[in-house]
Structure 1
Amino acid sequence: MVKKMEKKYIPLESFFAEAAQNEVILTYTAIENIVGQPLPNAAYLNSSWWKKTKPPATHFLAWMNADYTIKEIDLGRSVTFIKETDEINVGQSSSANPENILIIRPVDLDDARAIIHLQQDIDTESDFMLFGKDERKMSVQSIRKRIGEWKKSDNSRMFVGILNGEFAGFAALVTGPSPRASHRASIVVGVRKAYYGKSVGTSLMTKAEAWAHEVGISRLELTVIENNEPALALYKKLGYNVEGTRNNSLLINGDYINELYMAKNIQKATT
């Protein structure tokens, strides 16, 4: 039975809606990553918080709407959820570990430290980002300020991809600097190497485009290093076209590298 639930737990509800296992174990950290906010103190101190099944609290609907109940609680560490079913479906996984459940949500203030680690890892793992290892200067305060600006903006946003409770990638959209350029947005996407081949980049791009459509953005732009063949293939698959070359635009490991300008015109949202 679906009931109205606290807004902050909607991403957790989406996670369980995608879960196929009869039993799922999530750490507290994974749950907080999915939700984007810390769990309340009661969740750390009292097992009863997890076992609630009646209002006024409605957090339990995040898993109960998908027919999961609480099996076991290791306070402060992990929670085991089990699916209520009279019969086990043939072929249904019995593994306790989530299997590639990806949640895409807007970044929140409490994500600041995780965003720093995410971007640092991506910069270290790839030579295809604007910044290299240890070149990007970030602090929790500066990232929180930027996230606050995104949350207040009507046409700029950052999304994070949470795969099985772990930060896997991000997509940032920033609109033009003037009213005449407000219909276009630049998009930057990054994915941790451990999550390559799991559709994280595709899902982030798709979510960003859907949101851009909703807010009336009609043109998306990006740049990609000329020899970044996997990214170039992905962008072309998603409908982006090469519009020009920026010769010798980056200096990476002592070599001058060309960037390609790519763009996609999307139908402007109707009112």
Structure 2
Amino acid sequence: MTMTPDTSNLSIREAKQSDAAALIAHLKALVAEPGINIPLAPDEVTMTVDQEKAILADFETSPRAIMFVADSGDDGIVGELSIKAISSRKAVQHVATLGMSVKHGWRGKGIGRQLMAAALEWAPTAGIKRIELYVYERNEPAIELYKSFGFEIEGKRRQFIREGDAYLDDYVMARLL
């Protein structure tokens, strides 16, 4: 019998440096899943806790970037979302990229929706007017989630991702705020 994850204690909060080890563990678990929609191999997850802490410190101090985590309490971090301005150059400082992941077994429970809502609430406070993201063409649940938040497919990157001997397409999606 499979246990349904308990989302009653779930909180969406800003990531802290003390989350570094848990975030690395989350990423390692994700990339170990067969057919995962992240272009990263398990042997490529080599970041140390200190390196992750430095990244999180940058997020904490940047007025134009933030990372949110979905903290389940007992099971720890079960999702994360980062959004970051692509540049400080005046011409494009209003554009940010977004990336998100939710742990297997916790998907389909509204966690991605809560993370997206937090990001879209934060973005205007940082002067963000356009959010871009990249999603595997096969990741239909994520595409539908993004569309439900007003994101539109703007382009397709053909054979952008290599997975073994296969090449996969992904989409560029964006939303204007």
TM-score by length of 2: 0.90
What's 1:211 paired with? 122
Query: Contact 1:184–1:218 (CA<8 Å) still a contact in 2?
Result: yes
Query: Contact 1:171–1:189 (CA<8 Å) still a contact in 2?
Result: yes
What's 2:66 paired with? 157
Query: Contact 2:30–2:36 (CA<8 Å) still a contact in 1?
Result: no
What's 1:194 paired with? 105
- Pick from 92, 108, 113 the counterpart of residue 181 of structure 1: 92
Query: Helix, strand or coil: the match of 2:44?
Result: coil
Q: Aligned ranges for residues 54-133 of structure 1 at < 5 Å?
A: 100-125=8-33, 126-133=35-42
CA distance in 1, matches of 2:52, 2:160: 27
CA distance in 2, matches of 1:198, 1:189: 15
Kindly indicate whether residue 169 of structure 2 is the aligned counterpart of residue 233 of structure 1.
no
CA distance in 2, matches of 1:136, 1:206: 28
CA distance in 2, matches of 1:135, 1:127: 14
Query: Contact 1:124–1:134 (CA<8 Å) still a contact in 2?
Result: no
Deviation at residue 246 of structure 1 after TM alignment:
0.6
RMSD (Å), alpha carbons: 1.6
Aligned residue pairs: how many? 170
CA distance in 2, matches of 1:231, 1:184: 21
In percent, how many aligned pairs have the same letter? 29
What's 1:223 paired with? 134
What's 1:248 paired with? 159
| Higher relative contact order structure (alpha carbons within 8 Å, sequence separation ≥ 6) | 2
| Post-superposition CA distance 1:17-40 (Å, at most 9, x none) | xxxxxxxxxxxxxxxxxxxxxxxx
CA distance in 2, matches of 1:99, 1:179: 41
Deviation at residue 127 of structure 1 after TM alignment:
2.2
Deviation at residue 160 of structure 1 after TM alignment:
0.4
What runs of 5+ residues in structure 2 fail to find an aligned partner? 1-5
CA distance in 1, matches of 2:32, 2:152: 28
Query: Contact 1:99–1:164 (CA<8 Å) still a contact in 2?
Result: no
Query: Contact 1:127–1:252 (CA<8 Å) still a contact in 2?
Result: no
CA distance in 2, matches of 1:157, 1:238: 19
What's 2:79 paired with? 169
Query: Contact 1:100–1:164 (CA<8 Å) still a contact in 2?
Result: no
Query: Contact 1:120–1:134 (CA<8 Å) still a contact in 2?
Result: no
CA distance in 1, matches of 2:7, 2:152: 34
- The residue identity in structure 1 corresponding to 2:173 is M
Which stretches of structure 1, 4 residues or more, deviate above 4 A after TM superposition?
none
Query: Helix, strand or coil: the match of 2:147?
Result: helix
CA distance in 2, matches of 1:220, 1:174: 9
